Amino acid sequence: MQNRVYYIEGDGVGPEIWSAARPIINAAVEKSYADGRTIEWVELLAGEKAMQEQGEYLPEATLTALGQARFAMKGPLTTPVGSGFRSLNVTMRQSLDLYACIRPVRYFQGIASPVKHPERVDMVIFRENTEDVYAGIEWESGSDEVKKLIAFLRETMGVALDATCGVGIKPMTPKGSKRLVRRAIRFALDQGRKSVTLVHKGNIMKYTEGAFRKWGYELAADEFGDVTFGEGEAQEGRPLEIRDRIADAMFQEVLMRPEQYDVIATTNLNGDYLSDALAAQVGGLGLAPGVNMGDTLALFEPTHGTAPTIAGKDMANPGSLILSGAMLLDHMGWYEAGERIRKAVETVITQKQVTVDLAGQIPGATRISCSAFGDLVGQAL
């Protein structure tokens, strides 16, 4: 069996972490199975490498190939100033309708943490990926466009806005919210999780964030009513609880009572904040994997950026990309290989052989290079 995986190296530290990660993913598959299954890696171009070789940052050929693909991985991409792209990453997510950003957050033994009990953190965040303020609908203060919009809002809608405002629009739809919650519930049921928590700021933004909450509960009742129950309701043999929390209160909850939360479904901006905050509790973005997923394509990637200040210095932590590779293998159904990678990463961390970002958090750690970390993980498989 062979699965084709398209990959984009990425910018900055991208090539370095790819050199460390890809051999580990291949070796984990080889060591886990005797049936000859392999991955066929096919490179696509985006970012600075695409600009150098093809004269554009996001070639149409790349989007076309990804639009027909099932599996892909990418490194971090820089959004060039003045390119016409608000964000290469956001453009790809919107163009390919990768509506669910999924980030599992768990603790690895050996990592020093700013919280007392990081081992209690074991959550999976489902962040809506195409709507909310990340839709990028905004106008600059003083522009002709914003003046027209402010005049319309004043004269037609009776909204009192300062004439010097910059204005952004926060679109949220029933379709976008429900498909995100649907995927979160299906995942929770498949994985035997106990709860899905809808996180929102609906006490203030009632018709966007509040609507996300309402649509989430509607979806759960309409499509999963026989297997879900609400907070405070009798369980009656149904395995999955659906509940909600206000976003700011949820930040306190994940610090004080993380063990009470399994799967989180939330809006775009809240999900960005919350997933990074949770990653900080268990060691930082260097060990935070993720995937942007649509109905057909799953695009796996590290959650950190390009880290240009250390690019080319063999200092970057490849852990996030390595663990994203483990997620990829899980998504293929090759669970044994995915778990082999996670155990190998934990083994190396407990030996206190880590890259510079983690060495400062672990007393007595030995600082090693990006490539050396990859080599050690490979040996521990």
Distance CA 3, CA 371 (A): 26
Question: Helix/strand/coil (H, E, C) string of 247-301?
Answer: HHHHHHHHHHCHHHCCEEEECHHHHHHHHHHHHHHCCCHHHCEEEEECCCCEEEE
Distance CA 349, CA 317 (A): 12
Instruction: Confirm or deny that 272 is annotated as ligand binding.
Output: yes
Strand bridging mode 353-354 / 366-367: parallel
**Terminal Cα-to-Cα distance of the chain (whole angstroms):** 21
Distance CA 118, CA 123 (A): 12
Query: Could you say which of 148, 248, 313, 335 is catalytic?
Result: 248
Per the annotation, the verdict on 375 as an active-site residue is no
Instruction: Confirm or deny that 89 is annotated as ligand binding.
Output: yes
Instruction: Confirm or deny that 292 is annotated as ligand binding.
Output: no
Instruction: Confirm or deny that 120 is annotated as ligand binding.
Output: no
DSSP category for residue 205: S
Question: Helix/strand/coil (H, E, C) string of 122-151?
Answer: EEEEEEECCCHHHHCCEECCCCHHHHHHHH
Instruction: Confirm or deny that 317 is annotated as ligand binding.
Output: yes
Query: Could you say which of 201, 244, 262, 357 is catalytic?
Result: 201
Distance CA 4, CA 2 (A): 7
The b-or-e profile of 204-221 (16+ CB within 10 A means b, else e) is eeeebbbbbbbbbbebbe
Closest CA to 78 of 311, 370, 341, 364: 311
Q: How far is CA 167 from the centre of its chain?
A: 27
Instruction: Confirm or deny that 129 is annotated as ligand binding.
Output: no
Instruction: Confirm or deny that 357 is annotated as ligand binding.
Output: no
Strand bridging mode 167-168 / 138-139: antiparallel
Can you name the residues that pair with 6 across neighbouring β-strands?
42, 72
Query: Could you say which of 134, 170, 244, 330 is catalytic?
Result: 134
What's the count of helices (H) and strands (E) in the chain, helices before strands? 13, 15
- Hey, what are 141's tokens? 């203060």
Instruction: Confirm or deny that 3 is annotated as ligand binding.
Output: no
- Hey, what are 367's tokens? 């600082």
Per the annotation, the verdict on 134 as an active-site residue is yes
Per the annotation, the verdict on 201 as an active-site residue is yes
Indicate the annotated binding residues: 78, 87, 89, 93, 103, 127, 272, 317
Indicate the annotated binding residues for Mg(2+): 272
Indicate the annotated binding residues for NADP(+): 78, 317
Name the residues annotated as catalytic. 134, 201, 248, 272
